[in-house]
Amino acid sequence: MRKVKDAGTRKTKIKVSGLARLCDVEWINRIKPDYAAFIFFDSYYRVGMDQAEHLRKKLAPEIQTVGSFSCLSCWLIAELLGSGMIDAAHIHGDCTPEEMEQLRRMTDKPLIKTIYIESPESIRKAQEYPVDYLMYDCRDDREEGREQYLKMLFEYGPQKREFFLSDRLCSMHLKETIQSMKPYGININSPIEKRMKRDPGQIQQLVREVRELEAV
């Protein structure tokens, strides 16, 4: 499976979700995460195809674009990947490994699958998905709940797939989590909104914390 082209020698990749406006492109180009994601499902940050194409042209060329989808519309996703509008596809909704295999046969571009941690069994089953990366998250907003699921993931041990961690899981102990679990990347989404608007300052702070670890 082909991976998204690497951005230099960075140890931990950074993906920012919810690119929706020209002002988003401006600060994304300043902060320079490795990936920026368009949301194509029902969300405050949902964008249409024409809007995504317009924003993509304004994005710095070294930043990879990801399309986020809530369901598995294989033909649409494969078409967007083939056209170059997006460099990778991120599937959030429920689908089986067998259903993902259909999309896998239609494209060699990178695929990401969100996995909500519920038990060690949910982590084990995640290894069956024919994707390039997993993205681990949880549905618990309580700090003790998030710590519990993060510990569960840590104790599971080595994984078959490289993986992203959601900021919901790791922002509490970012440095320790990156150093101990060595994720492929961090997905920045949940803690960066103020009254339904992105907070570039908070995003920049998270990016800075990750980048500082690379200099150690």
Q: Model confidence at 112, in pLDDT bands (50, 70, 90)?
A: very high
Mean pLDDT estimate for the chain: 86
Report the alpha-carbon distance of residue 65 to residue 25 in Å, rounded.
Answer: 12
- Orientation angle between helical segments 74-83 and 97-106, nearest 10 degrees: 40
Q: What string of DSSP letters covers 153-215?
A: HHHH---SSEEEEEHHHHGGGHHHHHHHH--SEEEE-TT-EETTEE-HHHHHHHHHHHHHHHT
Tell me the mean pLDDT in the region 26-37.
Answer: 93
Task: Express each pLDDT in 75-110 by its tens digit.
Answer: 999 999 999 999 999 999 888 999 999 999 999 999
Residue 13's DSSP bridge partners are: 185
The pLDDT assigned to 42 comes to 74
Cβ atoms of 35 and 15 within 8 Å: the answer is yes
pLDDT of residue 172: 80
Q: pLDDT tens digits for 130-148?
A: 999 999 999 888 888 889 9
* Region 47-51 average pLDDT: 90
Q: Cα 19–132–147 angle (5° rounding)? A: 70
User: For 87, what's the count of Cα atoms within 13 Å in the CB-facing half-sphere?
Assistant: 17
Angle between helices 22-31 and 200-214 in degrees, nearest 10: 20
Distances (CA, A) of 198 to 50, 182, 187: 21, 27, 14
| DSSP-H helix ranges across 37-156 | 49-58, 74-83, 97-106, 120-126, 143-156
Give pTM, 2 decimals.
0.88
User: Which domains are present in the chain?
Assistant: 13-214 (3.20.20.70)
